[in-house]
Amino acid sequence: MADAPNPPETALKEIAYAPYRDPEEFITEWTDRIWVQRGVGLIRENYAADSIVHGAYGTVRGVEPVVSSTLQKISAFPDRVGQADDVVWEARGDDAFVSSHRVFSAGTHAGVSAYGPPTHRPFVSRTIATCLYRRGVMEEEWVVRDELAVVRQLGLDPDAVARGLAFPAGGARSLGAPPADPLTCGDSGARPAGGARRGECEHVLGLIEEVWNGRRLDRVADFVARDVTCHTTGHRDVIRPDGYQRALLDLLAPFPDARIEIRDVAAHESAPHGGVRVGVVWLLRGTYGGTPRYGAPTGSPVEVLGASQFLFRDGRIVREWRIYDEISVLAQIAYARGDEPSPAN
């Protein structure tokens, strides 16, 4: 039985998610039909002809590039299945909603891919796709994948893979100026009632502003529970506030001047999913001049598109799923260096 709608969501009409019972079922069923059952051509029904997709390597416009990239990915990983871990959704007016869809994928590299010939090795990874749907049609998407986890499990060299992607990546690409007040209106549009689950959303934005941007790592315990778990890139899990600090240093130390912009916020409460969850799309802009995590510093600008989902319990964050593509970071740095692609790629 579907959860009763939260007060700010009662204005959402069925036309936003028909013929399904709610936005969560809409997202999970369409995902299964297209990417699991292989109804690739259904993308032309599900996505607007002029849809916009923001990813780690820039922005793509139009539905046909989505069809093309989907065919190629399925060919490279023919047994890949993307399992829906959670869908954090929120209304955008009475005929639209935004969904932060966390996907857990498993498969085998059995075909030729952008990474080279098949390795026949299995992999697991996470993705967060944030989509704006209006009257059942996808208008704009922000998608980030943990490609570092995939590359490592396939036994490939991340630096060599990044060099092969450096030229198509073309360097960093901007999303433009950030929203003035994402609690009220983000990239996906105005939030309901000035912002659903405002207390939890303010808590998350306070963590990002004070701890991430303010570098007050000593204040982590003010925002997260003692038994917090953070699932982050490279398919790594860290625990406790000190583990959370270390994972945050991995993100920030290579880019000491970085600032994280909040691009979009959505919140939802669901007992089957553990309670209140907050989904955030964020963008790091910085200069690669710090810790040499990605090789010798270049002093070049880097943009990192990321997404996080936060689970609350008793007013504290007990879990964060933090996804960003470190292969795209390596590709931007390789592009700045002028590195030649690896012969293997």
Instruction: Yes or no: say if 326 and 147 are a contact pair by the CB < 8 Å rule.
Output: yes
pLDDT reported for residue 1: 31
Quote the mean pLDDT of the chain.
92
pLDDT tens column, 113-162: 999 999 999 999 999 999 999 999 999 999 999 999 999 999 999 999 99
pLDDT reported for residue 310: 98
User: CA-CA-CA-CA torsion for 84, 89, 92, 96, nearest 10 degrees?
Assistant: 40
pLDDT reported for residue 343: 54
Mean pLDDT of 1-14: 56
Complete DSSP assignment for 219-271: GGGGTEEEEEEEEEGGGEEEEHHHHHHHHHHHHHTTSTT-EEEEEEEEEEEEG
pTM: 0.93
pLDDT tops 80 at residue 226: yes
pLDDT band (50, 70, 90) for residue 345:
very low
List the one residue out of 268, 269, 262 whose CA is nearest residue 283: 262
| Tokens at 214, concatenated | 């303010």
Percent of all residues in the chain with a pLDDT value above 70, rounded to a whole number:
92
pLDDT band (50, 70, 90) for residue 174:
low
Mean pLDDT of 18-41: 96
pLDDT tens column, 239-293: 999 999 999 999 999 999 999 999 999 999 999 899 999 999 999 999 999 999 9
pLDDT tens column, 52-95: 999 999 999 999 999 999 999 999 999 999 999 999 999 999 99
SS3 287: strand
Q: Is the peptide bond before 8 cis (omega within 30 degrees of 0)?
A: no
- Total Cβ atoms within 10 A of residue 80: 18
Instruction: Yes or no: say if 156 and 120 are a contact pair by the CB < 8 Å rule.
Output: no
Q: Regarding beta strands 137-145 and 47-55, do their DSSP bridges make them parallel or antiparallel, or are they unpaired? A: parallel
Report the C-alpha gap between 292 and 129 in whole angstroms: 29
pLDDT band (50, 70, 90) for residue 194:
low
pLDDT band (50, 70, 90) for residue 6:
very low
Lowest-confidence segment of 5-9, 282-286, 340-344 by average pLDDT: 5-9
Which residues are registered as beta bridge partners of 141?
Answer: 53, 131
Angle at which helix 326-337 crosses helix 158-169, to 10 degrees, equals 70
Instruction: Yes or no: say if 247 and 230 are a contact pair by the CB < 8 Å rule.
Output: yes
Place of tokens 């049609």: 137
